[in-house]
């Protein structure tokens, strides 16, 4: 029972990290109008930066997270410029372009960092364990959990309370009205993709201490993000968070309790969510 409680908490923490990664993808699609299949490559880039720039100190850890977010934001800016000319031509063209970028990016990352699974050097305080409610738990996972909650809260406030968030939602609803008040909707689209890339890079940095980063990271991150976005609702951040927690718990608990069936549990969960009669809370309706 103790192991199951710890594993469930692990799953929730893992799900929140997945939520940050998937939020970038769903915001890019829902608000930026871009189906970005290079999203997993941006996550892997953030992970590699975290793995190679940390030196076991708090300063290097903060710098690594900032660099990962900046690299992701730069990647988002490049994708915004690349996909700007494709607006109005449907998502298939965007998917083909970003898929090509993903292939090139994955090859460059493997060439630069090799084929080994890399992990960052964390400060000693984060590599210890503490007792929480009678259970010993790794400090680095609690820290990642706290940062994920903080990022999710900040993202919600920014999207629903700040002027920038209202402008993004207005652009989705009525681009002509946004243009009428003197704001170029394409500038908003580009800003959304930059923010989406920053979230992807940060998610990569946050997950690397727990999962490591290697040649398969980009594909796995993209696959899980797509499952979460589809199950949570395209363009719905709250839906993505709920679906991400479900994916994290199902995957983590399944591997521990019934490892032989674990590869099939995620598929079963996706089928059940897609076949449900109503939307999850916060999901965008067609």
Predicted confidence at residue 277, as pLDDT, reads: 52
Is residue 247 a contact partner of residue 228, using CB atoms and an 8 Å limit?
A: yes
Q: Let me know the angle formed at the C-alpha of 130 by 48 and 54, rounded to the nearest 5 degrees.
A: 20
**Sign of CA pseudo-dihedral 113, 114, 120, 121:** negative
Predicted confidence at residue 265, as pLDDT, reads: 65
Predicted confidence at residue 266, as pLDDT, reads: 65
Distance between CA atoms of residues 134 and 138, nearest Å: 13
Q: Note the pTM of the prediction, 2 decimals.
A: 0.83
Predicted confidence at residue 279, as pLDDT, reads: 47
Predicted confidence at residue 6, as pLDDT, reads: 75
pLDDT averages per 10-residue partition of the chain, 286 residues = 72 83 82 85 94 92 94 93 81 88 92 91 87 77 83 81 83 83 87 91 89 90 85 74 84 75 66 58 44
């Amino acid at each position: 029972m103790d192991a199951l409680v710890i594993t469930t908490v692990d799953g929730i923490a893992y799900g929140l990290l997945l939520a940050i990664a998937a939020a970038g993808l769903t915001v890019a699609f829902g608000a930026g109008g871009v189906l970005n299949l290079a999203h997993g490559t941006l996550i892997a880039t953030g992970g590699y930066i975290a793995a190679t720039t940390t030196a076991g100190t708090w300063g290097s850890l903060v710098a690594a997270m900032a660099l990962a977010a900046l690299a992701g934001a730069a990647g988002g800016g490049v994708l915004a410029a690349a996909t700007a000319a494709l607006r109005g031509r449907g998502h298939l063209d965007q998917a083909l372009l970003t898929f090509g970028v993903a292939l090139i990016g994955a090859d460059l990352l493997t060439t630069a960092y090799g084929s080994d699974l890399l992990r960052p050097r964390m400060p000693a305080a984060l590599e210890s364990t503490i007792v929480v409610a009678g259970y010993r738990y790794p400090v680095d996972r609690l820290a990642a959990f706290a940062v994920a909650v903080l990022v999710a809260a900040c993202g919600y406030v920014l999207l629903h309370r700040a002027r920038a968030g209202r402008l993004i939602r207005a652009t989705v609803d009525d681009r002509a009205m946004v243009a009428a008040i003197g704001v170029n909707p394409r500038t908003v689209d580009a800003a959304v993709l930059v923010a989406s890339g920053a979230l992807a890079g940060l998610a990569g940095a946050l997950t690397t201490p727990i999962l490591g980063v290697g040649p398969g990271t980009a594909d796995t991150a993209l696959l899980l993000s797509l499952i979460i976005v589809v199950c949570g609702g395209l363009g719905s951040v709250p839906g993505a968070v709920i679906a991400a927690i479900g994916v994290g718990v199902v995957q983590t608990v399944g591997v521990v309790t019934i490892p032989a069936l674990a590869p099939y549990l995620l598929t079963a969960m996706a089928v059940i969510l897609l076949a449900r009669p109503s939307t999850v809370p916060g999901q965008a309706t067609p």
